[in-house]
Structures are given as structure tokens and as C-alpha cells.
Amino acid sequence: MDLFEYAEDLDFGDIHFKVNPKTGLRAIVALHNLTLGPAIGGCRFLEYDSSDHAVRDAMRLARGMTYKSAITRVPHGGGKSVVIRPKNMSDAQRVEIMEEFGEFVDSFGGAYITAEDSGTTVADMDIIATRTEHVLGTSTNVASSGDPSPVTARGVLHGIQAAVKYKYDRDDLAGLRVAVQGVGSVGYHLAKYLHELGAELIVTDINQDALKRCEREFHAAIVAPEAIYSAQADIFAPCALGASINDSSIAQLTCDIVAGSANNQLAEDRHGAELRARNILYAPDYVINAGGLIQVVADLAGEDADWARAKTEGIYDSLIEIFRRADSDGLPTGEVTDRIVEEMLGLK
Ligand code: NAD
């Protein structure tokens, strides 16, 4: 699809570029929708095989942030930036690029707030902060907000509880079997909360230490990475990488519910319809994994921990609304979520 057609198809929005052949800066800031407030979205710093791919990545991710902020009911729009990483970059060049990118971010006067994402670090955010105040995740504010993973995991737990209520009409998790794919930062905390509430755990990871810890602390059963899909479980919680719901994995799933933290869980949109056809209830990823965003927004707005906790608990009600509407409209949950946001923002 032509680039402008792609932008129109995604309901854009503004797409800004900044280049400097002297430093090698090639940056894109995509501001998808500012109806609800200034855009929040991280900065990717990766090598790309083409500029076209980088621009499309920024656009797609910015749109994702609009939808996530809106369904989480936080006063922010969606934006994202991509800085194309030069090949064979020196440390000095990286500093120059981040400084210039900081000036670029500042030029939006607060309409875009940047943060860490794939390929950027806290040190990069510190450099950006020398040129703009519209940056999160610097070494100073990382310390204030802390690791978002426990809050994200808490949100996923509320999402699992909503799915269990909807599917089984149960308020407790005792004895339910949950297969957790990836027990890293979020997956470990999720496993802990589930264990505390009496769920039985089946876990997998490629990191043996992470697995042993779950076996020791939560009596989790361990399976090989490829065996997690066919594990006998009520709930499958993808907490590792994207695209884990695909043709191959769906055919193996034994669960009634898919609810986890990973971003972009569906390899393609049609896999949402496939889950529905198999009567598997899917908690859309960008609804259930919004705890980290809530924590960041709370810090930004000076809200306290009670506000963040209440907002995170709200993931439960949002999902119940989505599950009900999916059944009444006969649509996959992901599609219904998109429609709810589009109605809120007057899109489409
Ligand atoms: P992480 O890197 O700490 O944990 C991921 C874990 O998955 C690691 O332990 C890794 O070894 C494991 N893993 C990798 N490949 C695997 C495979 N093939 N099979 C099984 N395990 C595998 O990351 P995280 O911060 O816990 O995030 C997990 C997911 O949740 C990611 O998709 C992330 O984008 C998403 N997410 C995280 C947050 C957050 O607050 N950290 C917020 C929103 C979404």
C-alpha cells in the first residue's frame, strides 16, 4: 500500500521527519491522535532495511498508543518515534543523535512525550533530557516510577479475573491451571500473584534460572517452550514475545482463556476470529497490559499510588464490557475493542 494511503487507512495524523547528514540523524515522530491529550510513546532506535519500513513502524506503533491510552481512559493521545540506527555507529555519534532527537522532541512543545523503547536506554533518555523536558524514563524519574512490571502483572491478574468471571462465573482462581509463557519481569510477578490466589502453574521460559525460581517459590510445573501451548490448562498467559497466537499454536491450545502481558499476541487479526470460533476467550493485549502505562501516567500527572491502583483495577471492568459486547455483536474481542475506541474518538 502507498505510504499516504497507509497513513489514511490508520486515521493519521501528523508524521514529522528530521534529518542531519552530518550526524547521521534520521528521525520520525508520528503523532497519531491528540484528541484526549498529549501523545505518549517510546522511541525506537533500530537498524531498518528501508526508510519506508521505519516510517510504517512509527505509524503503526503510534496508532497502537492512541488505542491503548483511550481504552485505558488516560488523558493522552498516541505517538511514537523511530530513530534509524546508523550502521557502525560510534559512542560519540550516538550522543549527538540523541541530543538532536531531544531538540526534535522539544519542537512539539509537549504535544509529544518520549520514553524508552526497543534499542533505547535510560542513558539515551538522560541525553534527550538535556534538550527537552518532555521525556520519561530518565535516571531521575526511573527512580521515582520504578519498574513497571509488577503493576503490569497486577493489571494482567485483574484481566484474568475478569475473563474467569465471564467464562466460568467464578470470583476465585483456586485450582485453575494457568500456563505462563515467559517468566521474566512481568511473568514472574504474575505467577506470584496467581500462586497466592491458589492457581496451579505450568511455566516455560528459555532462561533456566527463571524457571527454577518459579518451581522453588510457586511449585510450578515446568515444560519445554514448544510444549506450553498443548499443556492442559484453563488459561494461557503469553508473557514473552509477540505473535504467539498463530496457526500452529491455536491448533494446540487446550485452554478456555488467553490472557497475558505480551504485546501483539495475535500473529494476524484473523487469529482473533479463530480464537472466537474455538470458543476461547481472548483478553486483547493492549487492554490487559496497560498497567505500565498507568504507572507512567500517574507519575506524569502527580497522581498517587491509590489512583494507579484504582485505574489498574479498572482493567477488569473494561474487559467485562468488551467480552459482553463481543458476544452481543458476534465479533472477536480485539475488533470490538478497536470499535469502542473509534467510537470514543470519532474515528472511521
Ligand atoms: P522480559 O524480557 O523481562 O521477560 C520475557 C521472558 O520471556 C524472559 O524471561 C525470556 O527469557 C522469556 N522468553 C523469551 N523467548 C521465549 C520463548 N520462546 N519461550 C518462552 N519464554 C521466552 O520482558 P517483560 O518486561 O516481562 O515483558 C514481557 C512481555 O510483556 C513483552 O511482550 C512486553 O512487551 C510486554 N509488556 C511488558 C510490560 C512491562 O511493564 N514490562 C508492559 C506492557 C507489555
Q: Which residues contact 305 (CB under 8 A, 6 or more apart)?
A: 298
Stretch 175-198: mean pLDDT, rounded? 98
pLDDT 10s digits, 231-287: 999 999 999 999 999 999 999 999 999 999 999 999 999 999 999 999 999 999 999
Measured in degrees and rounded to the nearest 5, phi and psi for residue 137 equal 75, 25
Name the closest-CA residue to atom 30, ligand 1: 262
In the chain, residues under CATH classification 3.40.50.720 are 149-345
CA distances from 179 to 239, 262, 283, 293, 303 (A): 10, 14, 15, 25, 34
Stretch 134-144: mean pLDDT, rounded? 78
pLDDT 10s digits, 76-123: 999 999 999 999 999 999 999 999 999 999 999 999 999 989 899 999
H-helix segments, the chain: 3-9, 51-71, 91-106, 122-128, 139-145, 149-168, 185-196, 208-218, 247-252, 270-277, 285-288, 291-301, 305-329, 333-345
Nearest atom, ligand 1, residue 151 CA:
40
Question: Per-residue DSSP letters for 294-336?
Answer: HHHHHHHHT--HHHHHHHHHHHHHHHHHHHHHHHHHT--HHHH
Nearest atom, ligand 1, residue 186 CA:
26
In the predicted structure, residue 143 carries a pLDDT above the cut 50 = no
Cell 506470584, located at residue: 192
296 pLDDT band (50/70/90 cuts)? confident
Name the closest-CA residue to atom 18, ligand 1: 225
Distance, CA 35 to ligand 1 centroid (Å)? 31
Global pTM value: 0.93
The Cα 191–Cα 196 span in angstroms is 9
**How many residues are given for the chain?**
348
Q: Which residues contact 23 (CB under 8 A, 6 or more apart)?
A: 93, 96, 97, 100
Distance, CA 261 to ligand 1 centroid (Å)? 8
Ligand 1 site-directed mutation target among 180, 206, 288, most atoms within 8 Å of CB: 206
- Exposed, middle or buried: residue 14 (CB in 10 Å: 0-12, 13-18, 19+)? middle
The Cα 145–Cα 177 span in angstroms is 32
Distance, CA 224 to ligand 1 centroid (Å)? 16
Nearest atom, ligand 1, residue 240 CA:
7
Name the closest-CA residue to atom 42, ligand 1: 292
In the predicted structure, residue 327 carries a pLDDT above the cut 80 = yes
Name the closest-CA residue to atom 40, ligand 1: 149
Cell 500500500, located at residue: 1
Distance, CA 185 to ligand 1 centroid (Å)? 7
pLDDT at position 302: 87
**315 within 8 A of 74, measured Cβ to Cβ:** no
**210 within 8 A of 183, measured Cβ to Cβ:** yes
Strands 39-40 and 77-84: parallel
CATH number 1.10.3210.10 is the correct assignment for the domain at 149-345: no
Nearest atom, ligand 1, residue 289 CA:
43
Please list the active-site residues.
Answer: 80
The Cα 165–Cα 208 span in angstroms is 33
Ligand 1 site-directed mutation target among 145, 147, 204, 241, most atoms within 8 Å of CB: 241
**134 within 8 A of 113, measured Cβ to Cβ:** yes
pLDDT 10s digits, 204-215: 999 999 999 999
Which residues, judged by CB distance below 6 Å to any ligand atom, belong to the binding site of ligand 1?
A: 148-149, 152, 181-187, 204-207, 210, 225, 239-241, 261-263, 289, 292
Name the closest-CA residue to atom 8, ligand 1: 184
pLDDT at position 305: 86
CA distances from 277 to 139, 258, 281, 327, 331 (A): 47, 14, 10, 12, 10
The Cα 334–Cα 326 span in angstroms is 9
Distance, CA 118 to ligand 1 centroid (Å)? 13
The Cα 286–Cα 112 span in angstroms is 20
The Cα 11–Cα 15 span in angstroms is 12
Other Cβ atoms within 10 Å of 41 Cβ, number: 30
- Exposed, middle or buried: residue 2 (CB in 10 Å: 0-12, 13-18, 19+)? exposed
Q: Which CATH code for domain 3-66+76-128?
A: 3.40.50.10860
In the chain, residues under CATH classification 3.40.50.10860 are 3-66+76-128
Distance, CA 285 to ligand 1 centroid (Å)? 13
pLDDT 10s digits, 14-64: 999 999 999 999 999 999 999 999 999 999 999 999 999 999 999 999 999
